[in-house]
Amino acid sequence: MTASPYGIPSLQLLEQLERHEGFRPLPYLCPANCVTIGYGTNLEAHPEYIDDDNIRQRVETGRLRSGALLRLLQDSGLKWTRERARAAMLDEVVSCREQLFLRCRQFRRLAELGDTVRAEVLLNMAFNMGVGGLLKFVRTLALVDGAIDGANTWEQVEAGLRNSRWWGQVGVRSRELGRQIVTGHYMVV
């Protein structure tokens, strides 16, 4: 894991992601119709986790995806241990963190201010929907800037999250992250 002077990712985030994502040792189709395994590792976005060279190359070139990929991986007997799933999750979290430092001013500001818990809300969301997905929350990210600057409240940031389609799609996860953005503390679960 690449070291971060801000302590991101924290152990609390990693435990939270394991709980939010749930462990699935066998490949499955996620709601976005992508082949996923472990703690939410999208094998179509991360073919480097596919051991079979032939299958991996076909995924990398876009010739194999979704149901056809799922069937091949199931037929190959692909099964992950919790340890392999944790390693992949950690790699992805670190990659998301690095992308957020480069592409998301609000994440960077929160991390630099030492507001790790709120920064990790954004990191959790980016892990869930991709960095590009998080960056589409333009109004909510503007509210984060406002809350940092004291121009609005963290409750307004949570309201911005509530007004998204994502809020209804992820259930308990959104409510937990909403409370976390308001309080600046991890919830005890």
Q: What is the DSSP letter of 188?
A: P
Sign of CA dihedral 135, 138, 139, 143: positive
Specify the number of domains making up the chain: 2
Contact 180, 118 (CB under 8 A): yes
**In the block, which residue shows the tokens 């069937």?**
71
Contact 37, 85 (CB under 8 A): yes
Residues 110 and 176 in one domain: yes
The answer as to whether 51 is a domain residue is yes
Going residue by residue through the chain (189 aa), what tens digit of pLDDT does each one get? 445 668 899 999 999 999 999 999 999 999 889 999 999 999 999 999 999 999 999 999 999 999 999 999 999 999 999 999 999 999 999 999 999 999 999 999 999 999 999 999 999 999 999 999 999 999 999 999 999 999 999 999 999 999 999 999 999 999 999 999 999 999 887
What is the C-alpha separation between 184 and 178, in angstroms, rounded?
Answer: 10
Residues 48 and 98 in one domain: yes
Residues 48 and 22 in one domain: yes
What is the C-alpha separation between 178 and 22, in angstroms, rounded?
Answer: 20
- Dihedral, 2, 132, 29, 12 alpha carbons, nearest 10: 40
| Domain assignment of residue 55, given as a range | 9-103
Q: What is the DSSP letter of 80?
A: -
